[in-house]
Structures are given as structure tokens and as C-alpha cells.
A = this chain, B = another copy of it.
Amino acid sequence: MPNGAQILIDGLVGGGVRACFANPGTSEMHFVAALEEAPALRPVLCLFEGVATGAADGYGRMAGRPACTLLHLGPGLAGGLPNLHNARRAATPVVNVVGDHALRHKRLDAPLESDIGALARTVSAWTRRTYHAGELAGDVAQAVAAATGPPGAVATLVVPADVSWSKADGQPTAMPAATARRGLVSVDAVTGAAEALRPGAGAALLLGGAAARGAGLVAAGRVAAATGAKLLCETFPARLERGAGRPVVERLAYLAAGARHQLAGVRHLVLAGAASPVAFFAYPGQGGALVPEECTVHTLATGAEDVTAALEGLAEVVGAGVSPVREAAVRPALPSGELTAESAAAVIGALLPGQAIVVDEANTSGIWLPGATAGAPPHDWLTLTGGSMGQGLPLAVGAAVACPDRPVLALVGDGAAMYTPQALWTQAREGLDVTTVVFDNRSYAILNLELGAVGAAADGARARRLLDLSGPALDFVSLARGMGVPAERATTAEEFAASLKRGFAEPGPLLIACAVPALA
């Protein structure tokens, strides 16, 4: 008769879970032992919980089904929360398996005891503790179903050690979760959107979630072409399909002033899987909503609804027979000379291989990337959905595990890279085909901009020092090699191009420290 850990793993595998990003401890040892007999579930060791949860996010975005994490009690879950915050904002399916003390041990308030449920609920749409091994089969099925959605979500199952090591009494309570599907939108929503988007109405269509890819994206392109509506995408899409041949879509800018400029004059905004846009942060004397006052916001479909079918229906109504405006296959020329954020973007645009998965946590160094890569071969673009730093390197790990036949390019700022550098070790251990570019500007450049905006003293040396990464300079080549990842430093556009070509040509990971000046 199987023990709880074996029932749990059977349930995960039965629910389609194929990867487990793990940072286990003593209370998870029965789970680890049970992996021995579960070849369908690939265990991937991560040296820090934030890597495990970020990898699960990257996996779920690309695979469209959940990976699981394996975390050690409350402190282990806590370490994973920042990237679970991003996964929640991305609506990524993730199942957290969090080990806990044996039930009879909890009242003793042993050192690792804490309120796991309170931590879990801050990021999870579904949280449960299992109290008997016999309940595990049902609980894990519900966890997988809750994570899968739609919409995708974080689900957290807390498994006490004695539940893992005990046998189920009698038959497991088979309680298969109902399979859900996205709700269909009403005819009224489609006709209302069609009315709002009528030519000459000053309309825009804002895509988010599943509308940023596949058939929904193509249908949105048809709608825009037929109606003349502006086609926009949310600022931080979980996964945007773009590149040559894909419909032309403009992403809303991160800075509120830029986004307001993009939305100026829009009188009808139709939301397709996106929320009504708001500023990332508030500023003195500025409102937070980005939509112009005279603009009416219409919802075609929420993230919980079948936005793809809704866009296809809308395209039939307004754009039968019309094709989207598609990106031309145009790449920048390979630049030479000085390496800057702009020339680095041109190098990337010139060399990006087809089917690449691009993970973007480049922040200020990334502002030239969308333009430079718009006409590169078709690729996916994964962004920092929740603003919690340290997402890029782990996300690349998960995307590479999900899609072993596709090249992964991680573009990260130096500040961002230092939250979760341990992801590099997992890249090396698993032989993942990830090329990591660290934009090495030796600054929290985005905060230097903000500090100026709030009026720090002009000479503000004490304050500026808190945003400066130059003393001592981080040597990312040394850091990467220390974790088994080959690494090179590029100081000219030519060197960067040569390194990037090597990264794409050779299997396994490569890190490129890309020396660029800070924007600010």
C-alpha cells in the first residue's frame, strides 16, 4: 500500500505535472524518496526557493500546465513568495507542495513552526492542508485543477510529514476535480465591443493574458485591421507572441507619461484579457488611472473567460476576410563600436534565432529591445508581471525545462540578477540551453531616475550611494563560472555579437556580461 508521498506524486503525475522544482528539507524526505519510483516527474534541484518558484512560473507560462514546487515549511515557502507574486500576476498555473511538521508536532512550537496558511494565501487562489493520507488523492487533484484554471493560478498544498509517511487507510478518497473551461462571453459583449470599435470612433483594443498569443492574437489583428482601432498590449504580458509575421501590437509603456501618450485621444478602450491600465506607481499630483477621462472602457472578455473565442467571434463580426497587419521580417544591421543599451538591442535584434523564448528583466537597459526585435523571426517574450525583482534568471530555467528544443535568452539588469543568481547553477546542472545577458551598468539605474524625480539634493551622495552598484563592481563572469556556467564579458558591439552568436550556437548555458553605461 502506498504512503502519502507516493499517493501525492501519483496524483501530480496523473494530473499532468511533469516537473518538480525542489528545495527540500527533512519534512519532505518521504517525497524525495518517492521520486525514485516516479520517472514521469522530473526533479530539478534549486539552491534557493526563489529560483524554484520562478522556474515553476517560467515552466507554466510555456507549457500551459503546472509544474510543482517542493518547499520546506513556512520559511521555505516565504523564500519563494516574491516570484509566486509574479506568477500570480501572470496567472501562471503553479502547484506548491509545502512540507510541514507532523500534525502532532505542531503544538510544540518547534523552531521552524510558522503560519504557512497565512503566507500561502497571499499568493494562492487555493490553499489546503491535508490531514490524512487517505485525503491526498482528492486534495492533489483539486490542487492541480485549481492551478490549471482557467485562469491559471497558484495553488498551495500543505503536506504534514506524518501524512507523507503514513499509509492511506482503505481506499483513497477518489475525488477527481471537475475539469473547468473558460466561460464563453455573451453575444452582448461581442456586439458591444464591435460597436465601440466602429471605424472613426477613436478606439483601441487592449490585449492581455491569453489574447497576447495564438489564435486570439491573430483575431485581434484582424479586428484592428478591419476597424482601424489601435492594437495595444498590456505593459507586462505573461507571454507575448511577436516577431516577423505576427500581428503588429504596441505594448503600453512602463512610465505613466509614455502610456498616457499612447492612450491620448482614445475614446473607447476595449479590454480583451487585460485590466484597465493603471500607473505602476503613484506620484505626487498625478492620478493613477491611465485611461483618458473622456474614454469609455468596455470589457470584451476577462482573464477568466475564453478571450480567444471572443476575439475570433468579434473578428467574424467586424473583419470577415480581413488579414492582420503583420510585422515585416526586418532586422537591424549588426552595429559596431560602442556598446550601449541601444547598440546591444540592435545586436540582439540582428541575431535572435527563430522560436526563441526571451525573458525580459532588463529594466532601463531594455528600452530599445522591443523596437530592435520586432521584425526578428517569431519568438515569445516573457515579462516581469508583478514587479518583484529576481524573476528573470529563474524564469529562464523553467522555460528551458518546458521547451528543451527552443533557445532561451534571458535579458536581465545587474541589479535584478543579484536577487536570484543561484538559478545559474541549475542551468549548469541541467545543461539548459539558456543564454543570459546581464546588462552590467553598475547601478540601480531605474531608481536613480526615481530619486531625481522625488527631489533628492543635487549632490545627494549618501542617497545616491544606496543605488550604486559600482563599489565593488560585480564580476558576473566570475560569479557565473563559480556556479559552473561558462561566461564572457563584452565591451564592444562586436564582442557582444560574437558572444551572443556563441551562446545561440552552442548547447548548454552561457552568460554574457554586457558592459553598458547606465541611462540615468
Bound complex: CA A165 to CA B284 (Å) = 8
* B281-A387 in contact (CB<8A): no
CA distance A388 to B36 in the complex (A): 27
Against B, the Cβ 8 Å flags (1 = close, 0 = not) of A114-125 are 110011011100
Q: Which of the candidate stretches A259-267, A325-333, A415-423 sits at the interface with the other chain?
A: A415-423
Asked if B455 and A33 sit within 8 Å, CB to CB, the answer is yes
Select which of B111, B119, B289, B418 is within 8 A of A47 by beta carbon: B418
The size of the chain A interface, using a CB distance under 8 A, is: 101
A189 contacts across to B, CB distance below 8 A: none
- A289→B419 contact, CB < 8 A: no
Is A472 a contact of B483 with CB atoms below 8 Å? yes
Chain B residues near A26: list those with CB within 8 A: 280-281, 446-447, 450
Cβ B479 vs Cβ A32 within 8 A: no
Near B by CB (< 8 A), chain A positions 34-63 give 35-36, 39, 43, 45, 47-48, 50
- Bitwise interface map of A from 433 to 468 toward B, beta carbon under 8 Å scored 1, else 0: 000000000000011001101111100111101111
- How many angstroms from the CA of A422 to the CA of B469 in the assembled complex? 12
Within 8 A of B (CB), among A364-378: none
Instruction: Give chain B residues whose Cβ lies under 8 Å from the Cβ of A429.
Output: 471-472
- Is the CB–CB distance between B35 and A101 below 8 Å? no
- State whether the Cβ of A498 lies closer than 8 Å to any Cβ in chain B: no
A149 interface residue per 8 A CB criterion: no
- Indicate if A481 sits at the interface (CB-CB under 8 A): yes
- Residue A178 at the B interface, CB < 8 A? no
A476-509 vs B, CB cutoff 8 Å, 1 = contact: the mask equals: 1111111110000000000000000000000000
Docked-complex contact A114 and B85, CB < 8 angstroms = yes
Q: Which residues of A357-403 are within 8 A (CB) of B?
A: 385-390
**A282 an interface residue at 8 Å Cβ cutoff?**
yes
Q: What does the 1/0 interface line of A275-287 toward B look like (CB < 8 Å)?
A: 1001111101000
Contacts of A480 in B (CB 8 A): 482
Q: Does A29 have its Cβ within 8 Å of any Cβ on chain B? A: yes
User: Which residues on B sit within 8 Å (CB–CB) of A65?
Assistant: none
Contact B36 A462 (CB under 8 A): yes
Shortest Cβ gap from A384 to chain B (Å): 8
Contact of A29 with B462 at beta-carbon distance under 8 Å, contacts A79-B82, A419-B79 already known: no
Q: Which residue of B lies closest to A235 (CB)?
A: B111
Which positions 102-119 of chain A face chain B at CB distance < 8 Å?
Answer: 102, 104-105, 108-112, 114-115, 118-119
The reply to whether B165 and A454 form a contact with Cβ atoms under 8 Å apart is: yes
Give Cα distance in the complex from A173 to B147, angstroms.
47
- Contact between chains at A111 and B386 (CB < 8 Å): yes
Are A421 and B421 interface neighbours, CB within 8 A? Answer: yes
Inter-chain contact B45/A465, CB cutoff 8 Å: yes
Residues of B contacting A82 in the complex (Cβ-Cβ under 8 angstroms) = 75-76, 78-79
Measured between C-beta atoms, what is the minimum distance from A324 to chain B in Å? Answer: 28
A102 touches B48 (CB 8 A): no
Tell me if B387 and A75 are in contact (CB < 8 A). Answer: yes
Report the nearest B residue to A85, measured CB to CB: B75
A331-345 near B? 1/0 per residue, CB < 8 Å: 000000000000000
Given A102-B282, A111-B385, A462-B35; A425-B419 close (CB under 8 Å): no
- Residues on B with C-beta less than 8 A from A162 are 282, 284
Q: CB of A297 within 8 A of chain B?
A: no
6 shortest interchain CB distances as A-B pairs: A472-B484, A478-B482, A75-B388, A479-B482, A102-B282, A78-B81
Given contacts A36-B463, A478-B479, 16 further A-B contacts (CB under 8 A): A24-B466, A25-B447, A26-B447, A32-B466, A32-B467, A33-B451, A33-B460, A39-B462, A47-B419, A47-B469, A75-B389, A79-B81, A110-B281, A110-B288, A421-B422, A478-B482
Can you list 14 A-B contacts (CB < 8 A)?
A24-B467, A36-B461, A45-B466, A79-B82, A101-B282, A104-B282, A110-B278, A110-B281, A111-B236, A114-B122, A118-B118, A418-B425, A419-B422, A428-B472
